[in-house]
Chains A and B, each alone.
Chain A
């Protein structure tokens, strides 16, 4: 899951390069890939990883709930940034993209430093069953 976070950052940089060159079509296309990748990642966590964690620990309102709330905020930023690209409004795009970038990074940091280690710890026994499912979901896009 951590590797998947890194991949998101790479695509994000490509979009920024395209916008700087004024290549709006390329930027929109690239952002489309980026957002579908991110949304797929969210969906995988929300449908597989979080429920497994909640079932195992009984913590339904804990960290996973916070992560879901942050996913909602990031979905909003993604659509605001996409709108900026569609309107060829560089300021609106870059402002929302910048905010999304930091939101995404601090969210990733919380997941990588806190949630994933908790998952590794609690879900170790279920890893054999859970891992192939996670991998196939992440590849689905």
Chain B
């Protein structure tokens, strides 16, 4: 069935916002953990601290904002309306937040039943979201690269979730899986197929939209997502069949493809028609540069075998991809989506009789710039902390905590504008209605 456009069916503002608001709390917790745990959690990717940090960032921030954004963007880009969006959003959000906290508690070994509880809550939350999302996309024709990208990314998320459940169950002692192998699969599907898959599907729309760049070449946007997913799938099958030479070949192609996406995006950005690059544009540029650095690091380690013995390289890779890459892009997106949604909902509420404050009046450039600086400092300190963990891991944690606090404060100030103006709108409309009656 062809989806029908309607503002009434667009989700209420509270549906996506609840995800956005709790996400910086998780990065703040990651900062705190790094301050408490210090160099220990950066010594190897397999320490409980490193795993907890990774999941505070990847699940607590990246996945959480992505879910919130999908609640909003699916109806606009794909015309796919979620049924009862507020109910779906609050249910998924509550289970998700509790599940993510329990997962972290599991890695830190805080209490015995954390893993099984986390598996139940996170599994239900993400599983339910996937069901609602895929049901809403069912029957929506893939008329654009973004729509088919969304479908592929959601299917990949299902695989990431299943692999994660397998790993958590194994850690809780319910069953035994080859941890190294399944972790590799979980990371491949999480970073490449789901993460980059979704990011690219969104980028085709928002890079030209927000940054006034030329569009991505059609041949690229049409095939990138599916080629990426097929390559990840082939790599996974080869890993399972234990064909290490072929695995290496396909993984190199995935890395080259990811690097090509970063290069192409940087190239498009260099052709932006904007007079002055805004905060969003700078965050995207930072993300693409970090993505390229991560790809280069991966290539270097595989070209120079002695580097492979350096236990900290996967941590550096993770910092570049998660904090420098995904977090930067996501913050850049939040700084467009949130002011726009506040304006849109206020505008609809005012019914053309009360004018809504424009985006820059909702969230000023100065506030965003202050956070951008804190985020840049965090990235630099985290990267340096991988080399000098004793000296810099705690300052890096503090920087992450401060940056998260600034992000949260900015989001809250935008919501403050929404609340105050919504009250004003209701009062004015009531006065106007009384005037009509009188």
The chain A residues found within 8 Å of chain B, CB to CB, are 9-10, 12-14, 16-17, 19-21, 62-63, 66-67, 69, 72-73, 76-77, 80, 91-92, 94-96, 98-99, 101-103, 105-106, 109-110, 113-115, 117-118
Contacts and interface: CB of A to CB of B under 8 A. Distances in A.
Nearest to B360: A95
B212 A113 contact: no
A95 B360 CA distance: 5
Given A76-B352, A80-B355, A114-B5, A102 B360 contact: no
Q: Specify which of A63, A91, A102 lies most central, judged by the most chain B CB atoms within 10 Å of its CB.
A: A102
B147 interface: yes
B209 interface: yes
A7 B353 CA distance: 31
A42 to B, nearest CB: 16
B76 A99 contact: no
B274 A94 contact: no
Interface in B317-341: 336, 339-340
Contacts of B3: 114
Interface of B: 2-7, 76-79, 141, 143-144, 147, 205, 209-210, 212, 273-276, 336, 339-340, 343-344, 347, 352, 355, 358-361
Contacts, number: 85
B308 to A, nearest CB: 45
Nearest to A18: B275
A113 B7 contact: no
B403 to A, nearest CB: 24
A102 B209 contact: yes
Contacts of B5: 62-63, 66-67, 110, 114-115
7 contacts: A16-B274, A19-B275, A20-B275, A72-B352, A76-B352, A113-B144, A113-B147
Nearest to A10: B273
Q: Specify which of A12, A63, A67 lies most central, judged by the most chain B CB atoms within 10 Å of its CB.
A: A63
A140 B359 CA distance: 33
A9 to B, nearest CB: 6
Q: Specify which of B275, B355, B358, B359 lies most central, judged by the most chain A CB atoms within 10 Å of its CB.
A: B358
Contacts of A17: 273, 275
Contacts of B144: 113
A14 to B, nearest CB: 8
A23 to B, nearest CB: 11
A128 to B, nearest CB: 24
Contacts of A62: 4-5
